[in-house]
Amino acid sequence: MDTEADLFYRQLPKVELHAHLNGSVSFETMETLIKRKPHLIEHRMTAILSGQRRALHECFQVFKVIHQLVDSEEDILMVAKAVIQEFAADGVKYLELRSTPREVTETGLTKQRYIETIRQCKREEVDIDVRFLVAVDRRHGPEVAMDTVKLAEDFLLSSDGIVVGLDLISISLILQVGHGKYLLSALEKAKNCGLKLALHLSEVRAHGNVCKQNIPIGKSFPLSNGAFKHHFQYWYKRGHPCVLCTDDKGVFCTDLSQEYQLAASTFGLTQETLWMLSQQSIGYTFAPEPIKQRLEKKWVELKQQILQ
């Protein structure tokens, strides 16, 4: 059962700006998926999925397994609904989910249906606003990047504001070795059509443009990892806009409440400061202005009830 202190973190209204759909699949959902497709699972895989803390290199193995388990519209609908429900139960009031659209010939899944399925999965009775970022993986090359931008653009125009932007993954290598040119035309197109852009910086530290343009930094790797603790502290101490996020709550066995709790104990933050940290994140969302105002109002109302 939650102690009183735990309860505060769960009740604290939160904004999640960096969650990968497949990395957010919980252990419980994974068990359901495994029951549905037992033929896919070898002994080695169940060990990988055992729900314990993992090193970064192991996480990428886990993604491969999850991708095998989630390969149809039906699966995507199931995991997206569960992930949204879990974030809502954790006190997240606004969620930006991101995912790399995949096509799977055997199940008839197309990239378009992949995005459409996620777009549809929000249920009215859950108190959470969900937006979606279409992820582009640099490793898939320039043509896929351009096709994905086009797809995202179509959805930007037709999804009632649910698809808000583009997420660039595997970006750190580009910044380090300067191989980004071929992606520029895709990015230019995305920017021109009004898609918001999110980048994965990984361990790239103190990047000049991030500082100059005050681009918000999302802490998206669990704070229990020493390297990322250092990273968050670096930006936070400089007064740079910082947002606590989970990245992959399923794969890293965490949730956003736990990340706030860890931030509090690691950096000695008061409840008032944590409240400010979560409220400030509203300003860094890709949501339209009226939604931000609605969230601000909610934070003010809840503060009276939760923070004495």
Ligand X SMILES: CNc1ncnc2c1ncn2[C@@H]1O[C@H](COP(=O)(O)O)[C@@H](O)[C@H]1O
What residues are annotated to the active site? 203
Least distance (Å) between residue 305 CB and ligand X? 34
Which residues from 75-104 bind ligand X, rule CB under 6 A?
Answer: 99-100
Can you tell me the distance from the alpha carbon of 248 to that of 25, in angstroms, rounded to the nearest whole number? 8
Can you tell me the distance from the alpha carbon of 246 to that of 266, in angstroms, rounded to the nearest whole number? 16
Q: Give the CA-trace dihedral at 220, 226, 229, 235, to 10 degrees.
A: -100
Least distance (Å) between residue 253 CB and ligand X? 14
Q: Tokens 């520029």, residue?
A: 184
- By CB under 6 A, tell whether 71 contacts ligand X: no
Least distance (Å) between residue 23 CB and Zn ion? 7
Q: Spell 50-71 as b/e; 16+ CB within 10 A means b.
A: eeeebeeeebeebeebbeebbb
Q: Give the residue with the Cβ less far from ligand X, 47 or 227.
A: 227
Q: Coil, strand or helix: which one is 118?
A: helix
Q: Give the residue with the Cβ less far from ligand X, 13 or 250.
A: 250
Angle at 217 between CA 213 and CA 221, to 5 degrees: 160
Give 56's contacts (C-beta < 8 A, 6+ positions apart): 225
- By CB under 6 A, tell whether 73 contacts ligand X: no
Q: Contact with ligand X (CB under 6 A): which of 8, 15, 16, 20?
A: 20
CB 94 within 8 A of CB 295: yes
Per-position x/- string for 132-171, each x denoting binding to ligand X as judged by CB under 6 A, each - no binding: ---x-x-------------------------------x--
121: left (phi over 0), alpha (psi -120 to 50) or beta: alpha
- By CB under 6 A, tell whether 19 contacts ligand X: no
CB 27 within 8 A of CB 253: yes
Which residues from 189-228 bind Zn ion, rule CB under 5 A?
Answer: 220
Can you tell me the distance from the alpha carbon of 122 to that of 100, in angstroms, rounded to the nearest whole number? 18
Q: Give the residue with the Cβ less far from Zn ion, 84 or 299.
A: 84
- By CB under 6 A, tell whether 130 contacts ligand X: no
Q: Which amino acid is at 17?
A: L
Q: Give the residue with the Cβ less far from ligand X, 77 or 302.
A: 77
- By CB under 6 A, tell whether 117 contacts ligand X: no
- Report the chain's C-alpha Rg in angstroms: 19
Q: Contact with ligand X (CB under 6 A): which of 221, 232, 286, 299?
A: 221
- By CB under 6 A, tell whether 247 contacts ligand X: yes
- By CB under 6 A, tell whether 255 contacts ligand X: no
Q: Give the residue with the Cβ less far from Zn ion, 35 or 57.
A: 57
Question: In the complex, which residues of this chain contact Zn ion (CB under 5 A)?
Answer: 220, 247
For binding to ligand X (CB under 6 A), which residues are involved?
A: 20-23, 63, 99-100, 135, 137, 169, 200, 221, 247-248
